[in-house]
Amino acid sequence: MMPLHLGPIVRWRFRVMLACSWILSIGFTCIGAEHTAPVTHAVPAAFSDMLPEFLVEPDDVYIVKNKPVTLTCRSKPATQIYFKCNGEWVHQDDHVIEHTIEPATGLPIMQVMIDITRQQVEKIFGLGDYWCQCVAWSTTGTQKSQKAYVRIAYLRKNFDEEPLGKEVALDQEVLLRCHPPEGVPVAEVEWQRNEELLDPKTDPNVFITADHHLIIKHARLADTGNYTCVAKNIVARRKSTSATVIVYAASGAEDMALYVGMVAVALCLTLLLIVVVLVYRRRKGSLDADVADSSILTTGFQPMGVKPTKPGVWAPHRPPRSKNSHLLTIHPDLTTTTTSYQGTLRSRHDGTGKFSMTNGPLLEPLPNGSHTLHNGKLPSDPNDFMTRLSTQNYFKTLTRDSPNTSYGTFNFLGGRLTLPNTGISLLIPPEAIPRGKIYEIYLTVQKKEDLRLPLAGGQTLLGPVVSCGPPGVMLTRSVILSMDHCSDAVPENWAVRLKKQTYEGTWEDVLVMGEELVTDPYYCQLEAETCRVFTEHLGRLALVGESLSMVAAKRLKLVLFAPAYCGTLEYSIRVYCMDDTQDVFAEVMELEKQLGGRMIDEPRVLLFKDSYHNLRLSIHDMPQSQWRSKLLASYQEIPFYHIWSGSQRSLHCTFTLERLSLSTCELTGQLCVWQVEGEGQSFSLDFNIAKDNRPLDSEFLLMDNCTPALAGPSAFQIPYLIRQKICSSLDAPCPNGADWRLLAQRLKLERHMSFFASKPSPTSVILDWWEAQHFHSGNLNQLAAVMAEIGKQEAMIFLVSDGEC
């Protein structure tokens, strides 16, 4: 406490020393601690006793997506200004300071600016609003500005209440209700009729309430249309579903007479139409009978004479033989009754459902004696036709024997589906399926060649195309889809998008990484080699990247194969240049197993940059007296776009070599693969093609012998009851931070803090991620150690026996 009897200079020095003790503790340079108070701009004597006056104070701001915001503070006379955010001083190096002089008074003016990022605001998520204020010093004392609050802006997609269509009478009042989606800042609402803005200022018959509802005071015929509620803020603009309003003419005596007349006219027209149809059908029936009698007896046949069976019966004259008379091998039976028929003419005893379709004559004999009447071209194979017809349904039921497909039946306890040796899995957390429901869920990887995934510009497929379903199934929590990717995992080099195929077969963006909101239905976490997608909506998904610079690179896996046995002079080496993902590698290994190939040397990884340069391959240093290459050029080249698109899974080049003698078995040399003006890899060739006849090598495959489908507790590392105890312990915010936020930090998940915080149980989502990442290598002792670091007694529950869980 400063004594009151001290002089003004002593009191001023005491204040400055006290302020300096605060400032020096955070690394600032303090000036003015002496009696003379040396400053950058001296204060005129007439104003030496003035307190700082703020000319500009920081205002409330919103962070949109990932763009930082700037806070500004300006004061006079001021010798120093610093910002304090959430009770802590901002470091001196983070300030941008400008000094000026007020021309009229000569007073020093200081302006200070700082930037606030989204990550800074997210760190205190759940503890309150993020605020900053500036503190200004003069030779007399200090002043504090108003607090400026920094908030992350968002606008949810779903309206709390949408308008409903209705039919109203003329002059009746119409009320259309609308509650916009939740958002920060609060969304503004406007109304549209038939996509045109409704303005109460120009149309006094409409009124928008404070609750955003639309009122039409007196319905007019012109008010008939589709009404849409539009919500917007600085982040996005959302539209509700349209509500159709129909205004009808109220019935009176004159209207009633008009309605009666209209009904009478309609009845007369209906009776007239019925009469016309009956007459037409009667005439058409007799005409069809005549046509049938002549067409079936003559089509495909020439007239021919028939000898009378009895004397005195007339027989027509036999015409001259035509050029095609040798085709007349079927004699019509004139004693049978003829009828009109379209389609296949078969014997009565032929009950099979088969049919034949060809491009031959209009009526031709079939092997079983039946006749087919053709009208247009159809496939010759009915089974093929039915197969292609069934594929018109996009999400058809997958057969059990589909390759690279896993099935499982699950309830509220959850489970896991895995495609062995592909790096693809689907984790279904507990409570993701509603209690009382049982779902059969599938997981499959699609062949890229069978899909039409549109890629524009510099876009490239970064991983497999994965389907999980059935689509439209209701989930109450996010499942986690894990799959490999082949990007260099440098976020600033890429714009990564998650695409989903719609029911119509088109592809749409459902997520752009770095711009996602916690309210989006999809969330993506990109690790060094794995992508994890959190979603409650199953379907067909693909990860697509667009390079932002020429240094962006994809990881290519280079693998060499050669025949396990060679009995001729020619010997081939196949060089595969594939995306570095497990599913493609497993597919190539299976292909080479069928071809009888064997792997030469260990696989290599090459960073293939978006430099538009091709990939070159060459073979060198072979003994010229024993081997020669049949390649005419000095190297082979794969075009850049063939590789960058990522749509060709087993892209490879073949080097055909020729040994000059069958007795030559040793092959030595160098095989080089490199991107023009980029990185390269080389393989050493040194083996005996006669002795080394091993089958396909498999040690480089990550042999995943896990069960494709696991349901219930067996699918998880953490027992169900222990999981519940951890969640109940860490979900509630703790003043010292010993809660789920510290768990996320210990597991290096700080970047996803706001996503976890948006969930009812942040801890359960973090544990889901841990289960998805550590399914093969999960160590409960490591997780227990993290819990012990947090300081929770629940770390000991990992030591309970399975029987207790």
pLDDT value, residue 786: 86
Helix, strand and coil in the chain, % to nearest 5: 20, 30, 45
| Segments making up each domain of the chain, as ranges | 53-152, 157-248, 452-470+480-710, 717-802
Q: What are phi and psi of 780, to 5 degrees?
A: -65, -30
Element at 563 (helix H, strand E): strand 553-563
Q: What is the mean pLDDT of residues 98-105?
A: 88
Q: Class of 452-470+480-710 per CATH?
A: mainly beta
Query: What's the Cα-to-Cα distance from 458 to each of 188, 386, 477, 581, 609, rounded to whole Å?
Result: 37, 39, 35, 20, 11
What dotted CATH number matches 717-802? 1.10.533.10
- What pLDDT does 331 receive? 37
How is 498-522 classified by DSSP, letter by letter? Answer: EEEE-TTS-EEEEEETTS--TTSSE
pTM, two decimal places: 0.53
Tell me what pLDDT residue 44 has.
Answer: 59
Q: How many CB atoms lie within 10 A of CB 688?
A: 10
- What is the pLDDT, as a whole number, of residue 687? 83
Check residue 321 and give its pLDDT.
39
796: pLDDT strictly greater than 60? no
pLDDT band of residue 376 (cuts 50, 70, 90) is very low
- pLDDT, residue 345, reads 31
**Whole-number Å distance between alpha carbons of 616 and 577:** 11
Which residue, chain included where needed, has tokens 């075009």?
639
Q: Are strands 494-501 and 597-609 parallel, antiparallel or unpaired?
A: unpaired
List pLDDT tens digits, range 60-87: 999 998 889 999 999 988 888 999 998 8
pLDDT-based confidence at 532, cuts 50/70/90?
A: very high
pLDDT at 458: 76
Any residues with CB less than 8 A from the CB of 589 and at least 6 apart, and which?
A: 696, 698, 701
- At residue 316, the pLDDT reads 37
For the segment 664-668, the average pLDDT, to the nearest whole number, is: 90
Lowest mean pLDDT among 539-543, 573-577, 661-665: 661-665
Give percent above pLDDT 90 in the chain: 41
The average confidence (pLDDT) of the chain is 77
> How far apart, in whole angstroms, are the C-alpha atoms of residue 127 and residue 732?
12
For residue 564, CA distances in Å to 593, 598, 659 come to 10, 6, 16
Contact in structure between 85 and 174 (CB atoms under 8 Å): no
Long-range contact pairs involving 160-165 (C-beta distance under 8 Å, separation at least 24): 162/229, 162/240, 162/241, 162/243, 163/214, 163/227, 163/228, 163/229, 163/240, 163/241, 163/243, 164/243, 165/243, 165/244, 165/245, 165/246
Structure tokens at 248: 């009808």
Residue 453 contacts by C-beta under 8 Å, 6 or more apart in sequence? Answer: 461, 465, 499, 507, 542, 544, 647
Q: What is the pLDDT of residue 9?
A: 38
Chain-centre distance for alpha carbon 634: 43
Which of helix, strand or coil describes residue 663?
coil
Domain 717-802 in the same topology as domain 53-152: no
Q: H-helix or E-strand containing 157? A: none
Please tell me the predicted confidence (pLDDT) of residue 240: 92
Residue whose pair of structure tokens reads 């003006």 in the numeric block:
677
Which of 121-130, 207-216, 632-641, 646-655 has the highest mean predicted lDDT (pLDDT)? Answer: 207-216
Asked if the model's pLDDT at residue 334 lies above 60, the reply is no
53-152: what CATH class? mainly beta
Q: Which tens digits make up the pLDDT trace of 501-523?
A: 988 888 999 999 988 887 889 99
Residue 163 pLDDT: 93
Domain 157-248 is in which class?
mainly beta
Task: Give residue-wise pLDDT tens across range 8-37.
Answer: 433 444 444 444 444 444 444 443 333 333
pLDDT for the residue 126 = 58
